[in-house]
Amino acid sequence: MPRVGGVANVRRMARRLGPDFARLWFASAVSNFGDGMTMAAGPLLLASLTDDPALVAGAVFAQQLPWLLFSLVSGVIVDRFDRRRLAVAANLARGAIVAGLAVAIWTGHASVPVVYACLFLLGVGETIADNASSALLPAVVAADQLPRANSRLMATHVLGGQLVAPPVGAALFVVAAAVPFGLDAASFVIAAVLIAVLRNVPAQAPVERRTVRAEIGEGLRWLWRHEVLRTLGLCLCLMNLTLMGAVSILVLYSGERLGLDPRWFGLLLSAIAVGGLLGTAVSSRLIDRFGPTALLRVGLVIEAGTHLGLALARDVWVVGAILAVFGVHAVVWNVITQSIRQREVPDELRGRVGSAYFLLSVGGSALGALVGGLLARQFGITTPFWFAVAVVAGVAVVAWRPFAAATDLHRSAAAAT
């Protein structure tokens, strides 16, 4: 398996997956690196503006709120208009927003309301850009290569956005607070240019124009009638609910239960990223060897086992190993589910069905953060993990049979190619 990164590796990927995929891959790598810097610099900025924990935590909700408000409408837009142009425009707009925030920081005009407004607008742009980019991938990559392409994109997200960029962003913030935000703005512009020069994107299927409500309904009905994708979407919502319920109190868990110094909490989280990087290296091979059905079922067992292990563990090294295994599972699961969705959904519905998935994902995460905190406060620090074990076990029982068809879908797509 070739290492992620390097000019020679990119050339190999271009030959195997095509030059347009290489451009999308570069665009993803650049923007993920910029986002990773902001992921570290953003909380530092808010902490420098306020010492109110509620205001600091509210920043996450400010960026997620547009997904809850506009996700389904964004899906209609992505299906109605040229996806490449939408991705370019959304990235340029996000670059302008972050550049404005960098200027506000540089000139001393940054405030909590300004940061919240910028995060909300960035979230609005994400509902367009992420959906359009996801819908573009099946247009430039053959169906049987989608798992490989998705694993490469996931690798850049984990390596650049989660491992390398955050410490760089934190270090730059200490030097000059505006710098990581300025570089993030530049990353959006570079990504827009790379997407703009895609050469061989076929024209997307035309959509019959009706009311927005009618078009949203068409996408939701199609999703509900597809047993495997419907099951995956509901699983995603519940798994994100339990995962965020656990992650939301992980910093408290690490101190109270593991006795971990706060300075090392970031290293504990990096265990997930390390596992995720390994998952990107093995995901396509595992799919070819065992098939999606077995991996989806095993993934649910690993998910429940992760929460069970965290509920029982008291040693930081054990917890780190559990999180690393979870990181492998999370990437393999995402590669499989994204590839199935990109193959199965008709081109004219990709935006709307994709937006429904994003809505389920973000909705589950947002609710999970609230549930986890309440459970921990009322019943103890390990309660969110026990709650997650029960929910994921129930999900496994319900989803076990529908997942049987996942491997048949995978084989059919490969045969058609």
CATH number at residue 321: 1.20.1250.20
Distance CA 143, CA 343 (A): 6
What's the residue count for the chain? Answer: 417
φ/ψ (deg, to 5) at 346? -60, 150
> How sure is the predictor about 72, in pLDDT bands with cuts at 50, 70 and 90?
very high
Is the domain of 84 the same as that of 213? Answer: no
> What does the pLDDT look like over 114-146, one tens digit per residue?
999 998 999 899 899 988 888 888 888 888 788
Amino acid at 221: R
**Residue pair 181/49 in contact by the 8 Å Cβ criterion:** no
Confidence of residue 15 (pLDDT cuts 50, 70, 90): very low
Range of the domain at 26: 1-199
pTM: 0.78
Tell whether 250 and 354 lie within a shared domain: yes
What phi-psi label fits residue 198: left (phi over 0), alpha (psi between -120 and 50 degrees) or beta?
beta
Return the pLDDT at 184: 93
Better-predicted residue by pLDDT, 262 or 396:
396
Is the domain of 25 the same as that of 107?
A: yes
Structure tokens, 151: 């694993």
What's the total number of domains in the chain?
2
* pLDDT mean over 42-52: 80
CB 381 within 8 A of CB 249: yes
Query: Are 86 and 218 in a shared domain?
Result: no
With bands split at pLDDT 50, 70 and 90, how would you rate the model's confidence at 2? very low
Residue 53 pLDDT: 61
More confident residue, 267 or 417: 267
Statement: residue 100 has pLDDT above 60: yes
Q: How far apart are CA 339 and CA 229, in angstroms?
A: 11
Is residue 356 predicted with pLDDT exceeding 60? yes
- Residue 265 and residue 371 in one domain: yes
Residue 262 is predicted with a pLDDT of 63
Least confident of 151-155, 180-184, 204-208: 204-208
Boundary residue ending a domain (199, 216, 238): 199
The percent of the chain in helix, strand and coil, each rounded to the nearest 5, is 85, 0, 15
Asked which of 54-63, 250-259, 325-334, 341-350 is least confident by mean pLDDT, the reply is 54-63
For residues 27 and 412, give the distance between their C-alpha atoms in angstroms, rounded to a whole number.
30
Does 184 share its domain with 323?
Answer: no
Same domain, yes or no, for 162 and 98? yes
- Output the CA–CA distances (angstroms, integers) from residue 215 to 10, 67, 310, in the order listed: 39, 18, 43
Supply the angle between the helices 350-379 and 227-247 in degrees, to the nearest 10: 40
Co-location of 331 and 191 in the same domain: no
Question: What type of residue is 118?
Answer: C
Pair 224, 355 in one domain: yes
259: left (phi over 0), alpha (psi -120 to 50) or beta: left
156 near 4, Cβ under 8 Å?
yes
What is the average pLDDT score of the chain?
Answer: 85
My answer on whether 223 and 170 are in the same domain is no
- Which tops the pLDDT comparison, 279 or 3? 279
Range in 145-154, 179-188, 394-403 the model is least confident about? 145-154
pLDDT at residue number 416: 58
pLDDT grade for 415, boundaries at 50, 70 and 90: low
Distance CA 390, CA 402 (A): 20
Q: Mean pLDDT over residues 287-310, rounded?
A: 94
Q: What is the mean pLDDT of residues 286-312?
A: 94
Same domain, 50 and 138: yes
The pLDDT value recorded for residue 151 is 84
CB 109 within 8 A of CB 137: no
Is 12 a residue whose pLDDT tops 50? no
Tokens found for residue 411: 């084989």
Amino acid identity for residue 26 in this structure: F
Q: What is the DSSP letter of 164?
A: I
Is residue 44 domain-shared with residue 167, that is, in the same domain? yes
Distance CA 244, CA 42 (A): 20
Give the end of a domain, one of 170, 199, 228. 199
The CA-based dihedral angle spanning residues 409, 287, 399, 387, taken in that order and rounded to the nearest 10 degrees:
-150
Which of 113-127, 154-168, 266-280, 368-382 has maximum average pLDDT?
A: 113-127
The string of pLDDT tens digits covering residues 84-93 is 999 999 999 9
Q: Return the pLDDT at 140.
A: 84
Domain final residue pick, 199, 230, 251? 199
Give CA angle at 41 (320, 330), nearest 5°: 35
